[in-house]
Amino acid sequence: MRVLGVDPGLTRCGLGVVDGGSGRSVSCVAVDVVRTPVDAELPRRLLQVSEAVDDWLDTHRPDVVAVERVFSQHNVRTVMGTAQVSGVVALCAARRGLPVSFHTPSEVKAAVTGSGRADKAQVTTMVTRLLRLKKAPSPADAADALALAICHLWREPIRARLAEAEARAAELARTHKARLAAAAARRRDDTTGTGLTS
Amino acid sequence: MRVLGVDPGLTRCGLGVVDGGSGRSVSCVAVDVVRTPVDAELPRRLLQVSEAVDDWLDTHRPDVVAVERVFSQHNVRTVMGTAQVSGVVALCAARRGLPVSFHTPSEVKAAVTGSGRADKAQVTTMVTRLLRLKKAPSPADAADALALAICHLWREPIRARLAEAEARAAELARTHKARLAAAAARRRDDTTGTGLTS
């Protein structure tokens, strides 16, 4: 499976393509950062990001796009721009019928470093090691994009298995409920029958 | 001038097209609300909104798109979705080279009711009156979209005049500075001249 990880941002948007192999093996296909000028108007900046993402989707043909889930706890202005970029990225994927998966920063950190509270340097170190890169990806947004893709590759099988187990449990519950209802209906019929003949 | 006003939202996105005539006269061209299913996935919902906006841009050919500026003071989840929709709307406009103008909720309320703290009912009443509609637009998102378009039509000439005045003032300041610099250079040359001949 090939994943395009996106660390959304207006000033710097990290893009990283990672291929998942057997087990936990992962390899880096491409990584870069799209920058848009701070003094440009917002619609223009969003257009530039969307064109870059479209370009990456054309070039690398990922099976899925993994995007960082944005929270609004930080700087309001930055967060709004980041949310807008993540919306535009999700749209680019949806236009091609590609699935989009959102992961929180702590899920990503936990996936690659083992701790949801790891710092940026740790994430970069682990990404460099996991992908056996000769040089640490820079800036941090590039490393984060790769970490997102790895996180998706490793979490997806677990998520899928969980979803399957949940579906199976729901099916069992449904069957059990139907049996109970049938038994209750039989008891009702028996009672009604008794009532009629008495 | 024709304006498409957009009150961004995932569950309900208000769209309203308003034509500006001479003075403050305004007329409603179209108004509606795009709804996307709450249980659908985010990328799918963003795609639906973007398709509706593209459709409206094709049909009504506005000169500009006015979008509500999103703040993150309310419910975090809702705000993120709203920001993502506003990003997608701005992208649709940018793709066609259309200018996008953002207005805060209080700017919009102040434009149509005279008070930045007016409630939803007041905004709806004024929009209905200003556009001489037979029926109040409903839901509130539809009225808000029309209010945004009216706000843009009324604020834009003032904004343009302000920008022009600022540009003129900056030009005057530049000319004045250049004159001062030239005078200083002349004085320096004179002094050097004296120094050489003495």
Interface check for B100 against chain A (CB to CB < 8 A): the answer is yes
Looking at the structure of chain A, the number of domains it has is 1
B94–A43 CB contact, under 8 Å? yes
Residues A123-179 pLDDT 10s: 999 999 999 999 999 999 999 999 999 999 998 888 888 888 999 999 999 999 999
Q: Establish whether B41 is a catalytic residue.
A: no
Q: Give me the DSSP letters along A35-81.
A: E--TTS-HHHHHHHHHHHHHHHHHHH--SEEEEEPP-SSS-HHHHHH
Position B198 confidence tier, pLDDT thresholds 50, 70, 90:
very low
Structure tokens at A179: 């049996």
Interface check for A40 against chain B (CB to CB < 8 A): the answer is no
Q: Torsions phi, psi of A124, nearest 5? A: -60, -45
Tell me if B68 is assigned to a ligand binding site.
yes
Residue B194 pLDDT exceeds 80: no
Tell me if B41 is assigned to a ligand binding site.
no
Q: Establish whether B63 is a catalytic residue.
A: no
Residues A45-91 pLDDT 10s: 999 999 999 999 999 999 999 999 987 666 667 788 999 999 999 99
Kindly state whether residue B166 falls inside one of the protein's structural domains.
Answer: no
CATH number, domain with residue A153: 3.30.420.10
Tell me if A7 is assigned to a ligand binding site.
yes
Q: Establish whether B189 is a catalytic residue.
A: no
Residue type, A65: V
Range of the domain at A48: 2-161
Kindly state whether residue A191 falls inside one of the protein's structural domains.
Answer: no
- Complex ipTM: 0.80
Kindly state whether residue A182 falls inside one of the protein's structural domains.
Answer: no
Kindly state whether residue B117 falls inside one of the protein's structural domains.
Answer: yes
Interface check for A54 against chain B (CB to CB < 8 A): the answer is no
Q: Which segments of chain A does DSSP mark as H helices, in order?
A: 42-60, 76-95, 105-113, 120-130, 140-197
Residue B59 pLDDT exceeds 70: yes
Residues A90-103 pLDDT 10s: 999 999 999 999 99
